[in-house]
Structure formats: C-alpha cells, structure tokens
A and B are shown apart, each in its own frame.
Chain A
Amino acid sequence: MGTGKFASGELMAAALVASGAELVTVALRRADLTGGKDKFANILTFLDPKKYQLLPNTSGARTAEEACRLARLGREATGSTWLKLEIHPDPRYLLPDPIETMKAAEILIKDGFTVLPYINADPVLAKRLADAGCATVMPLGSPIGSARGLETRASLAIIIEQATVPVVVDAGLGAPSHAAAAMEMGADAVLVNTAVAVASDPVRMADAFKTAVIAGRSAYEIGLAPQRQEADATSPLTGFLNQ
C-alpha cells in the first residue's frame, strides 16, 4: 500500500490495517525548518516497523543520481535496505524513465540495496532489471492515479510468464476488480494507493481490495475455466502415419 493522499495519519493507519498490506511505501521530503509542525509531523509514528516492511521511494528524483541520493537518505530514515526505485521526470503522467532506472538500479544493488523498481510494462527491461539483481519488478497497470486498471495487460502477461523474480503490479489500479484481475494473471502482489486514499470510505475500500486480491490469487492457483473454442478440423495431417 502507498501512504499518500490520505486525509489524516489516523485514517491512513486504519486503512493499512484493513488492507492487510505487508509492504508500505513512504516518500522523502525536506523538513520544515521554521519551527512549524508539518501536517504529518512524521509518518513513521503511524507505521509500526514490526507490522510493515517500510519501502521508502525515490519519488521526486528525475535522474539516477538524484534517486541514489534519496535512496541513501531513505535507508538512513527507515534503517532498511528495501527501496522502491521510481524515477519519473514527467510530472504530468509520472511515467518511469527506463534508462535512469536501469542506471540507478545497478548502482544501488552494488551498494547493498534491495531494489524494487517501478517500471512501465516493458518485458525486456523487466528481464534486464532482474538480471542486474533487482528483488522484484513493479510494472504499472496504467499511469499513477489514473485508475484505468490493467491497460498494459498483454505486456504484464509476458512479464509474469518470463519472470524469475516476484512481479508487483503498481499504479493505476482503480478498483478492486483491477487488483483481482492482476492476481488472476499470476501477479505476485499489487501496490495500491490513490484508489484507497481518495475513496469516500478508505478503510472499507482497503478491505475491498484485500478481498479482491485474495480472490484473484485463489482463482489463479485453481486454474481458470477454459473459454470454449471449437478448433476447426482440417484434412488428416497425420494420415502419413497410416501409410
């Protein structure tokens, strides 16, 4: 679960509990030095590190270099090497930069980070990041906050089929059904933020997403029923066996 866009720290904490999330992302920003208190004071006070694996992200970084700097600050802030590597230079669609992400991933992996890269649904990039040592790949379903679901479904299917690391579908999941669909395809997890945070009742929406994820996973494990298609019979192709 992402922790952004919630109306309050308390509401966010309640939604996290309802979601059953295990990975929780946090961002990094400059502190207000004028003595006034930030609205969120410090988010870590709402997040019990024993219950959640904290995942500082590098949002705000537009280059590999900036991402590496934020990563080191994040490691110091959370005391964990886990990192959501996200580099999006375009503030409008917040789509990830593959080149800077690849560059940063290689540096950070050597520096001992557990890198979970947020990427577009690019199967070759996913393989190269896994080869480089990323712990997972986190392809987007559709742009952050767009709530358009699995627009990248075909590429996601390829990534999931070829993956040697867990696949987390992150971004654009606007409804529980999107999350269920991702899990039915074989995704290992989903990362949701906006759809829960801006819901009229975030706690119930978080619970709805949890249920959808569990349902989708079960369906995947059971194996989906076949779509009935009649294969057209052609002339006997194996007639040569009878000669």
Chain B
Amino acid sequence: MSFVATFNSLPAVELRRHSQNATLSEFETALQHPNLESFAVLISPAADLEKLAALAQKTTLRHFGKVIRLYAPLYLSNECINICRYCGFSRDNPILRVTLTPEQVAAEARYLQTEGFRHILLVAGEHPHFVSNNFLRDCVAKLRPEWPSIALEVGPLETEEYRPIVEAGAEGLVIYQETYDREVYTSMHTSGPKMNFDWRLETPERAYQAGFKRIGIGALLGLSDWRSEAIAVAAHIQYLLKHCWKAQINVSVPRIRPAAGEFQPLSQVTERELVKFVCALRLTFPEVGISLSTRETAKLRDGLIPLGVTMISAGSHTEPGGYTGQGRADLHLTKGGRRIDSEGEHATVQFEIADNRSPAQVAAKLDTMGYEPVWKDWDISLNG
C-alpha cells in the first residue's frame, strides 16, 4: 500500500470545486480545523488573504521562531536521459553539458563553505551512466567531512540503491512530482524513466525506508491548475506525515521560470495565489518546512518569510561548475548518449534565477527583518 492508492481515491473533483466556491463562513470554519477539506477552503477565492497571513505568521513563529535555514544548491551534472518539456536539461535540448568529478564537486563545495553555507543540496539530472548511484555516493562521501547536512535532488531510485547514499552521509532527499495531474504529466514527460508517474509518486516512501531523515516534495507550479496541484501536494504531505512519521517533511512551491527549450507555462500562478498557497500550507501543516529557491524575486521571498517560508537558497547557480568554473574544459553536447566535444563559457543552466543577491546580502536583509539566518542546523555525525 502506498500513497498511490490514497491519491487515486482522493475526492479530487469535489475538493477542487470546494476550493473554488467556498463561502466566507466556510473559510471561518476552515480556520478552526486544519485538515485536507479545510485546506481546499483556505486556498479558495473567498479566503481573506490578510487574515490568512496573520494566522500563518503566528503559526510560523510558534513552530519555527525567527530563524531561516539557508542552503545552497550544487549541480553535479546537467546530463539527463529524460525528455521533459519544461526543463532546461531535457535530453532533446542541445545544451552544453558536463558532469563534475567528485574532486571538482569538492572544489565547488569549498567555495560555498566560504560563503557560510553548511547545508548543501546536490542536484543532478537522471542518467544511469553519467550520474550513476556510485557516483552520487562518492560525491556525498567526499563532502561528508565538511558538510553537516547533505541533501540530494536526483532521479528516483530504489530503496536498496538509496541505502549506500544514506550510509555515505546524505540525510535529505528532494523529489518533486512536478505535476499531480496524470494527463499533463504524460504530455510533459515524453521519454525516459521519468514517464512512470506512480513510481515517482512513491519515491518519498522508498527514501524513508532507506533512512533519509528529511524528505522534500512539491509540484512545479504552472504545469496545471494550481489549486488542483495544491490540494494534491497537501494530500501527499498528510499521507507522509502519517506514514513517514520519523522524517521531517518539507515542501517546495516553485513556479516555472524561463529555461532552455523556451517552454511556456500552461497556467499562470500569480504572486497573490502563491502567498495564499504558502499561508494555507502553514496553517494546515504547522510543522512542515517550506522552502523557496532563488526562482522568486527578492521582494516576494522576503515577503513570504514571515508567512511560512522556513528555508531559502541564496546566490544560487543552476549549472554544474557555476560557482568556480569547474568542468569548463569538459563541456560537450550529448546526442544519442554520445559526447560531442564543444567549446563554451559555462554549462547550460536548468532555469533562470530571479533573486541575484549574494548570501551575505540575503543574510543582512534577514537581520534587518529580525530573523536569524541559520547556516548550520544539524550535524549528521550526531546520527551516529
């Protein structure tokens, strides 16, 4: 039994209808009883955003206090065998690709250490050859001595494949379902293992079995109707809180950004709707971490911090070698799985970022807002 069964039996249509035509009095009631049904009401047009924000702020303060966890993404590779219409790394995009060696990864990571980071998110495309399980394990093992908290955002694996990576020192796994709308998912993923919707949907549970302590999920907003996605994400959180109860569950709310392949979002998600989504998540799941990457502007990120966002990245590069130019000599095109050497300034990015502030600038802004940036929150060595 996995979340797939629960997901398939969700009264999705009814919840979606309720998230559209809920009344103000239903909104008042929903504020009293955090559950999936009331979550649908909290994201409805009738929900008073200012009241929602006030309660979300109070809840966030109570559960997280005035601290924001900072992390940095480090892209290991932009190779990928999947074709995903919205992603810069899609196999059919003729972009400059590279996979860093563990030593090059360590060099990039050392730079991030000097910026103050102690939480790192290793990101890579899915490629059985260029981005093998052993490669991931070696990168984690390489970084383990300096990095107290290592998370991965890579293609889904089996529990047994995750175990050596956990044993090497990885404690967090991020896996976005991208979209919970099966039809849209099929049209978005036209080639490669990522076409398997159910197998991806069960990844958080397999990761939990392998021993990951922090699990991050989310939907890429803009692929489908945002209220339907929000309800699905909420249902997924609710399920994981119950079944993966020893893990810290985190959720991300990324909106699609311009990327190679010029994919145009199918639906628009406004800033007001994103804020409503974050506040509703915070009220319904007070203890769940919410992360917001440099995809969003400084104004929106700073505004969302009091309302529920608890983890942010800063000064991010979304291409391998982005921080110190590692791997520039090895840039190439990949066609039919074969390398075609090529020249270039840097590997191609996964998406354009919108908040270009440096980590120090972000930390300074947090100080002025009365928030303490937490560079190091946990130390894997304590896990024995």
Contacts and interface: CB of A to CB of B under 8 A. Distances in A.
Determine whether A and B are in direct contact in the complex, meaning some CB atoms lie less than 8 angstroms apart.
yes
Interface of A: 127, 162-164, 223-227, 229, 231-234, 236-238, 240-241, 243
Given A223-B33, A226-B29, A240-B302, A233 B272 contact: no
Interface residues of B, number: 25
B29 to A, nearest CB: 5
Interface string B285-323: 000000000000001101100110000000000000000
A227 B28 CA distance: 10
A240 B243 contact: no
B12 interface: no
Interface string B221-265: 000000000000000000001110100000000000000000000
B53 A237 contact: yes
Contacts of A234: 54, 57
Interface string B250-284: 00000000000000000000011001000000000
Contact of A231 (B55, B243, B299, B306): B55
Nearest to A243: B299
Interface of B: 28-29, 31-33, 49-51, 53-55, 57, 241-243, 245, 271-272, 275, 299-300, 302-303, 306-307
Nearest to A233: B54
Given A224-B33, A240-B299, 19 more contacts: A127-B245, A163-B242, A223-B33, A225-B29, A226-B28, A226-B33, A231-B31, A231-B54, A231-B55, A233-B50, A233-B54, A234-B57, A237-B57, A237-B307, A238-B49, A238-B272, A240-B302, A240-B303, A241-B303
Contact of B275 (A223, A224, A238): A238
A210 to B, nearest CB: 27
27 contacts: A127-B245, A162-B245, A223-B33, A224-B33, A226-B28, A226-B29, A229-B32, A232-B54, A233-B50, A233-B51, A233-B54, A236-B50, A237-B50, A237-B53, A237-B54, A238-B49, A238-B50, A238-B272, A238-B275, A238-B303, A238-B307, A240-B300, A241-B271, A241-B272, A241-B275, A241-B303, A243-B299
A237 B306 contact: yes
Contacts of B271: 241
Contacts of B29: 225-226
A226 B53 contact: no
B284 to A, nearest CB: 12
A162 B306 contact: no
B241 A162 contact: yes
A231 B51 contact: yes
A73 B243 CA distance: 34
A76 B306 CA distance: 61
B27 to A, nearest CB: 11
Contacts of A241: 271-272, 275, 303
A232 B275 CA distance: 20
The 7 A-B residue pairs with the shortest CB-CB distance, nearest first, are A240-B303, A237-B53, A226-B32, A226-B29, A238-B53, A234-B54, A127-B245
Contacts of B32: 226-227, 229
A229 B272 CA distance: 26
Contacts of A232: 54
A238 B51 CA distance: 10
Contacts of B31: 226, 231
Contacts of B57: 234, 237
Given A237-B54, A237-B307, A241-B271, A164 B299 contact: no
Nearest to A225: B29
Contacts of B55: 231
A223 B302 CA distance: 37
Nearest to A236: B50
A54 to B, nearest CB: 28
Contacts of B54: 231-234, 237
A127 B53 CA distance: 33
Nearest to A240: B303
B49 to A, nearest CB: 5
A229 B54 CA distance: 14
